[in-house]
Structure 1
Amino acid sequence: MRSDFRRSKIMCLCLCLTCGLCFSSCGETGSGAAQKRHSSDSQTTTTVTVSAPAENSPENVGTQADHLGIKDDIRALFGHERKSTTTTTTFTTTTTNAAEYEKELRSMYTLTMDDNFVVTRSGSIGDDLIWKITFNGQTVLERNAESELTFKYDWYGAGDYTITLTSFISGEYRPVSNTVEYTISLKDTRVSPNEESILKLKKSLKSICSRSYSFDSDADDTVYLEKRMGVICDPNHDGYMESIVFYAGTSNSGSNIQQVYCSDRDIFLPDSYDDSLTYYVWFDADTKQDYLCKVTVSGSETTAKDAFTDDILWSKSNKNGCTLFGKQVSAEELENLGFYENALTFNTDTEPDNDNVWVSRNNKPSFEGMYS
């Protein structure tokens, strides 16, 4: 029964990962040089026609709302909570002038962009917002902005881009921010193979679903997992960087659960259902290696194993003393290792972060923006 449950979870997670890749339109990073770049004010260069609010006017739910309804059915099919198409952003206005109404809407949020074409929005995580991207005047992507405060898009290469925030107000999606405009020109940007690999892994991390669901058939207990953080390192020591994603959450019965996904692995990593097993990424500057560790606690004994090889990296026990890479060491020597100062873990107490990532830089953790 347990093996069936694990296979079901793996299948569910794979489906969620596939959905994340499809819905994100498979591309959010890149490089280029700006020929022009500016943030437009509330008098945006993009022409948008809106109607001023009128008393007792019926809602006009168009094709975008219908599209959201289709997504809602898909979410429900996989056990996700429905997002009602009638959910709207609350906005109060006293004007009946269409131009003034649009200007007020566009002052709700502010977009800024840095020299690397990374757009940052105001507001908070959880706001009901959509990134709307155009390329050479044509809309190419409308992406949920609820779980992220930063965004970068130049998937189509050289050309003219605009990015605007929209929200569902008075029966339709309306612009609720200024519009940033920029032009990507062709340019030979030379980066090291290692840095190019890191950029590609960051790109894939932004495409992974932020949520997944699984079901414990033994306890008939629904489990809710959420993406907490991504880490880029070389955990299997093959000379190639991989992406590791930590998921965590709780079940309806209150159990804490940690789940780890690695972009290149051939072994099954069991979920952590309690505090007896916790996954860490350990950056060891002494051996110049990164490790994905599973740390287990049983009574007074703590053991850290390599998740790929199951080799014991270190152990600490009142009965058997301390070991480090198979050799007996003193408690002081093990303490000087600084494992917990150089290892990262993400669980139910960790706030989800889709705008940043930890990267192994010379086997030391570096906290970086997803697009830096």
Structure 2
Amino acid sequence: MSSCSPIHLTLPHWDVGSRKIRFIYLVNVTSFRLTDCPNKSLVVPLFLGADVFANTDIRTENHPRHHAKFAKKGLATRIQFSSGFRFRGLKVPTVNNSLWFYSIQGLFRVAFEMYSKQDQLSVLENFQDVWKSQINDSPLKTSYSLTVQLDFDPYSGIYDTGLRIEMSQPQHGQVGSDTGDTSADHDYCSFPTQSSQIEQSQAAISTVRHKLHSLDDRLSSEAQSCAEKLETILLLLEGINRYINGTLEEKDVTETVSALLKAKDWGCVYSSSLLTCVGRWLGQQFHAANSSISQKVEGFKVHHIERISDLPPAEELAAELFPEAMQTLLLHWMGLSEESTLEKRHSEYPILLLILEFANHNLITGVAHVLYSSLICK
């Protein structure tokens, strides 16, 4: 009989406005994944019941009763994990290593029954593609006993998603049992490829050292030609040092990224992979901020309900309601840098505000409401 430490898993999560909903992928009646599957038709995303019910009017001690109600409709399930699995950030009794999960249909049902309108909108915006892709899923069984993980938690230090680890099989299939077969045939702690993972890690370290030695040699032999690049090189090295030490801060990244963006002319705007990457990242960040922006806008409308036709100037509205980064992007895109005349900025700010209202799906000014109405009617 073998004895070893359990496998500690960190469930991935989905940012949904102010909520974070953890999930797993159900592969079949005994297997699951924590990482996405290239063939999405083979997996079913399941969302952690504790997160689905977080910040609702349902008291925690009443959650199991509601979970069971949704389970009868095939919208939720109680998953019994093999005793060899443990979960970071979750208090799960070892004698009952089980958790409740919801299908995407179940998540939507809970959201539209228990969430605020704003949270309902966040769920709709974030999960509509998942709902469409899983629309033909069969109802969930009331319980599953998962004993096989088809990938590794990326935080566990093992990254080979092709590995299949057979966990010790429970002796009883019903939910709540925790006794398992711990014979050598199911010794899930003997990873056949763990040594190769260590070898890969050592090879990576060796490569890093080789590149650093190569950089040292080049700086020694070509110091004069590298002079103009030294400041940027120093920023990069300092960033690496802070990253390794765990002290990297946003301002450090800002300086490094800014230096790299200015390092050379990166080519045509129509074919720049760098601009495309930055644009995608910015778009994702701005989209994630939509929920908090909507809350701020709703608060502003309530506060100004008596003077809705006499709102502050566009520049003040934009500064109060929308992130500075959004304004900075549009200002420079429109050619309105800090050097622009005050009169020019004032004349263009209503357009900038209108763009921000439309892009964030939050209409504030009368112009935005009129234009939006005319657009959707066409």
Give the TM-score of the pair, scaled to structure 2: 0.25
Higher-Rg structure is: 2
More helix by share: 2
What is the TM-score normalised by the length of structure 1?
A: 0.25
